[in-house]
Amino acid sequence: MRANRGGTLVETVAGLCILIPIVLFLIDVTACVICQTANDALAKHAARAACDASTQPLGRAAANQVITSYKAGNPSLTADATLVSCTYNSAGDIVTCTTQVICHLPVPVPFINQTQQVFQAIDSEPVVGALN
């Protein structure tokens, strides 16, 4: 009878030693998925904003405005967002924007002490109407 009471405690501790790292890993994976999804949407919004501008400097300014408003509204995991590039093709009818988000992991990865992950997204949008 006494051996069973101690055995249950040992089994519970052993199970928790396996379960807790798995749960912590899933928290980090969820944070990475959220960051990458937000970065993809940010690149698309920046490219759409740049499409509305008539010249490349105005397009880059519009894309930067999207990044600035995103950073003001998202102080959590993905606050470190930047516009890497915003370019028009040679014909001027397609805008390509590249954004970068640094995701701060909620649980640092053990043994390698990784506390953040960098994600980049690229999106191209056509300029459908230009003012002359």
pTM: 0.80
pLDDT tens-digit map of 35-84: 999 999 999 999 999 988 767 788 889 999 999 888 888 767 777 899 99
CA distances from 20 to 12, 13, 14, 66, 114 (A): 12, 10, 10, 39, 18
The secondary structure of 70-107, three-state, reads HHHHCCCCCCEEEEEEEEECCCCCEEEEEEEEEEEEEE
H/E stretch holding 125: strand 114-126
Q: Which of 6-15, 88-97, 117-126 has the highest mean pLDDT?
A: 117-126
